[in-house]
Structure 1
């Protein structure tokens, strides 16, 4: 007897939801979706044990979106997620599922985002709320979130919330919602603390257990790089230059990213093209044909656009953006290693995405190797190797006598050494990619385990000092910016914003110190006044920097001091794990930036 095939249409979902699923390329439900969706549509509570990557986001969001009354402008579904990254991911997925439901709004509430943005969103009327426990509890205490009309509650990755210490916050939130509501809880494991929540807050839940059948092939060599010390697009070019590949696919998370990465690669001389959901079928087929027959070497694609893609000559897959689930990762790297060939898969991992990396390793039951960013010496050696290969090929040419005769016709100095002439021609022939690269600062290797135990701020501070010394930049000025740890700011956010907006090397950025409500940063005196003026209007995590000049940094006996006649540091007080100078006023507008530094001629 053949196994019954299920479809989303058979489940009775609303037509607007089915239309959105077709646009997103969903063909048939996954096992967890097949079981959970009917239970939730019927009004039952659901207790699901499933690994990340099983498709549980659609399993709970589709039926709950189906049950929402869009005409009632009030929160009706609440999803609790352990991290802001997962909260954003779930909210984006729900927004895609609900795009044809007229008047239905989805919002993500998480720490690090400005409150005024979230206040405005809640006042407009949101039907589907996705948030982290701490920020949701804060809104409940403020009275800005009303859950009196709630009909559906989801606890996503409950074991992760337990591990992160959020269970008490979760229980406080659950105690404030209406008694009559539907609950879905999903967890990869089921420790006793989670079981206690199910007994206390769930009503005879239907238990669903999905065993992972994800497998991988040993023919694909996998590795990852922790994004650190260089922007991802610059690092991508370095990795591509040091890799041997016939064709490559680079996976990104958004449609806009496919165009941005394609532009970067084109500027660096790579034959690449974007593939995303906005392309019509004809253009899509033409692009794939170019990849298959060798007219195209690199394809930048989203998961949806790359479904069903099968090209034998693809030997390298780069996950420019880490996928949110393990199944997507398996599907991505499965695009290489075809037809009995060996493949290579590289994964870029942001520091805050290590949880997703651990999920992938756990489900695949393997340890993915960490790799370092290719250095300038490696790039120089690689370019010289390729150039040498070109020379060897041309040595076999039959028309070299013609060019040999041209040597005597060149109007050069007499008795010119032939090796000197060869060096000159070599310099001319190198083109836009120099064979000799400057020893630019590449940050040293940092294992992900070391990241857990080292003080990140001190580590990055020391490495920035080293970069400054290598770049021969000694004179620095100290500035204050009005973002700190309470805003969810990390050192990497500040470095990335300054480097990107100023379009400058990290050499010009000195030590950075994070405090609760503000931070201090050292910037080179060589930065123009126009650039500094631009920084005053810049935002980090959507909060204004308000860059304020504090003084000049001087070095005496390897100890740095700051001098400024208008700034005096008072008694030092402890503030968290950093040092706080009570001499700073909260209203830093009383300390304007030195006008001389912002002269238009600077």
Structure 2
């Protein structure tokens, strides 16, 4: 019998499971389900290795739920998951699979939820318990979770539990299990600590390894953009504007990043929300409900927050920050293209992150195609098509005739209707202009020849480390400002010029001397810059970090020595730099600097004596 002809009915599952699966619209099991279900029905331990989105949840849920004794009101099946989102997802799936089994109850245990809710579910006699390792262990220590008669335990995404530091909790829980039980462990990879668990707690496990092939992997179109020519925020807005997606997830590396990007998207008219570990569980669940019901289109999340997330609407995943390990990339893009649906994934790669891209490509066993930022012509086409759709829809409105009469009342007969329509277009376009200027010319270079040009790039990096932008010799009087980004942030002079020119609408020729230091930079700007513009620059971001621009001094003549003292001057934020002379402030800073050195040496001597 070929793989495509096998149905769930051929695997030996009971009728109440088959009816639920049929109602959910599933007919043919995935490869991992075909391999695991018979072993688990026959009482064997199973060690499954497969990527996310392959159908692991049904692979262990269907055969184990089939063996639950609903007459016994105590925990019989325990599933441990690395995150609360994945635990909730698994619990929901189990409830769907067992919806035709009368008397079967489940409990979900995870941090962030009130204990009384979980205790109530346990006291009602839940046979199926799903939770995170920490909360499960907490209930065991409290005596509210009794595993003495447990029949089945499942470790879902064991490698992720290892990465998150839960492996000791997992081993402690497994040590509490009765001697006779059945174990199923699923993991995308098999590091040594996970292998040790299988040897210690599993009995002759049946290994099931599903190779990553195009047939078993979701249909995900993957592409990457090498960060150059545009700031990441600007590029993100362009990609989202031209991409045809139902719902999207944008992954960032930090919680702060989720909030900043959400604010950016909302400012530009996108329906977006953040999902991170600082949110209460109620707020997280409400956000996910909005994503599912269509009132939210874009979710900006960290890896942990979106772990195990499965929403059918998600058709686009954007890796705004490249993950530090390749496995995380696989899990990220697995949020789309699930259960046979198509999807697309976009990865932003900065120059210093090429090595991480290489790790991902080796794991995926294929190169990720490079794409360019949508140009002004593509933006124009998308905006005009959207505009035409909206106007066409409005032409069907039943009150249209009243507004036709209003036009005749407002305008004289000698005014051309086409001119009136054109003026209305200009008003209606708002911030999204329908006519865009051409993009500035960019250096055209293939990213795939980066290895051949590594020496040249290193030479350029060395020059950037000593970067000084001399400006254009403009005689306009300048002031010196400090910004809180530097070489350690991966900043180049062009990044600073681009940010200031774009945010302040300043011609780059009026941006004077720029010098990069390790953790800050200095820049000269025309004298008399308005306070409002300085406030704008304080919030401006370069490579996703606020530059927090502050005034330092007047930039007189060609004297650049003030740059070296700007870091010391910035230590006293309360001092009014604009009122003190440059020379007096330098003396103050030097005196303060000497006191810091003396206190540092004293502290060092005291530590050495202790």
Q: TM-score, normalised by structure 1?
A: 0.51
Please give the secondary structure, in 1, of the residue aligned with 2:305. Answer: coil
What does the per-residue CA deviation read over 1:424-450, in whole Å, with 9 as the maximum and x for residues that have no partner?
Answer: 111122233222234454744544345
How far is the alpha carbon of 1:336 from its aligned partner?
1.5
**Aligned match of 1:227:** 227
Q: 2:159 aligns with which of 7, 23, 30?
A: 30
Within 5 A, what are the aligned runs for 1:100-139? none
Question: Aligned pair in 2 of structure 1 residues 283, 566: CA closer, same or farther (>3 Å)?
Answer: closer
**Aligned match of 2:359:** 359
Q: Is the 8 A contact 1:252 1:300 kept in 2?
A: yes
What does the per-residue CA deviation read over 1:234-262, in whole Å, with 9 as the maximum and x for residues that have no partner?
Answer: 32111111111111111122222222221
Question: Aligned pair in 2 of structure 1 residues 391, 535: CA closer, same or farther (>3 Å)?
Answer: closer
**Aligned match of 1:379:** 379
1:246 aligns with 2:251: no
Q: Is the 8 A contact 1:253 1:303 kept in 2?
A: yes
How far is the alpha carbon of 1:502 from its aligned partner?
10
**Structure with larger Rg:** 2
How far is the alpha carbon of 1:342 from its aligned partner?
2.2
**Aligned match of 1:320:** 320
Q: Is the 8 A contact 2:482 2:550 kept in 1?
A: yes
Question: Aligned pair in 2 of structure 1 residues 482, 244: CA closer, same or farther (>3 Å)?
Answer: closer
Q: Is the 8 A contact 1:317 1:332 kept in 2?
A: yes
How far is the alpha carbon of 1:525 from its aligned partner?
3.0
**Aligned match of 1:2:** 44
Distance 2:272 2:525 in 1: 37
Distance 2:535 2:270 in 1: 36
How far is the alpha carbon of 1:475 from its aligned partner?
6.5
How far is the alpha carbon of 1:231 from its aligned partner?
2.9
**Aligned match of 2:27:** none
How far is the alpha carbon of 1:383 from its aligned partner?
0.8
**Aligned match of 1:437:** 436
Question: Aligned pair in 2 of structure 1 residues 517, 422: CA closer, same or farther (>3 Å)?
Answer: closer
**Aligned match of 1:268:** 268
Question: Aligned pair in 2 of structure 1 residues 515, 31: CA closer, same or farther (>3 Å)?
Answer: closer
What does the per-residue CA deviation read over 1:372-423, in whole Å, with 9 as the maximum and x for residues that have no partner?
Answer: 122233222221121012222233444432322222211x344001110110
Distance 1:277 1:482 in 2: 30
1:408 aligns with 2:408: yes
Aligned-residue Cα RMSD (Å) equals 5.7
1:19 aligns with 2:99: no
What does the per-residue CA deviation read over 1:525-583, in whole Å, with 9 as the maximum and x for residues that have no partner?
Answer: 378286789999x999999999988979xxxxxxxxxxx4657xxxxxxxxxxxxxxxx
What does the per-residue CA deviation read over 1:505-532, in whole Å, with 9 as the maximum and x for residues that have no partner?
Answer: 6853769887999999775537828678
Question: Aligned pair in 2 of structure 1 residues 319, 421: CA closer, same or farther (>3 Å)?
Answer: same
Please give the secondary structure, in 2, of the residue aligned with 1:354. Answer: helix
Distance 1:392 1:534 in 2: 39
Distance 1:374 1:228 in 2: 13
Q: TM-score, normalised by structure 2?
A: 0.50
Within 5 A, what are the aligned runs for 1:389-538? 389-410=389-410, 412-439=411-438, 441=440, 443-449=442-448, 453=453, 454-455=456-457, 488=488, 490-492=490-492, 495-496=495-496, 499=499, 503-504=503-504, 507-508=507-508, 523-525=524-526, 528=529
Distance 2:505 2:258 in 1: 25
**Aligned match of 1:340:** 340
What does the per-residue CA deviation read over 1:431-485, in whole Å, with 9 as the maximum and x for residues that have no partner?
Answer: 3322223445474454434555244886999xx99xx99xxx9969697989999
What does the per-residue CA deviation read over 1:264-295, in whole Å, with 9 as the maximum and x for residues that have no partner?
Answer: 11111111112223333333333222222211
Distance 1:545 1:401 in 2: 54
Q: Is the 8 A contact 1:511 1:521 kept in 2?
A: no
Q: Is the 8 A contact 2:317 2:344 kept in 1?
A: yes
Q: How many residues align?
A: 393
Question: Aligned pair in 2 of structure 1 residues 298, 515: CA closer, same or farther (>3 Å)?
Answer: closer
Structure (1 or 2) with the greater helix fraction: 2
Question: Aligned pair in 2 of structure 1 residues 57, 385: CA closer, same or farther (>3 Å)?
Answer: farther
How far is the alpha carbon of 1:319 from its aligned partner?
0.9
Question: Aligned pair in 2 of structure 1 residues 273, 448: CA closer, same or farther (>3 Å)?
Answer: same
How far is the alpha carbon of 1:263 from its aligned partner?
1.5
Distance 1:259 1:483 in 2: 20
What does the per-residue CA deviation read over 1:3-58, in whole Å, with 9 as the maximum and x for residues that have no partner?
Answer: 2679999xxxxxxx9639989xx955339969xx89xx9xxxxxxxxxxx958698
Q: Is the 8 A contact 1:491 1:512 kept in 2?
A: no
Q: Is the 8 A contact 1:475 1:524 kept in 2?
A: no
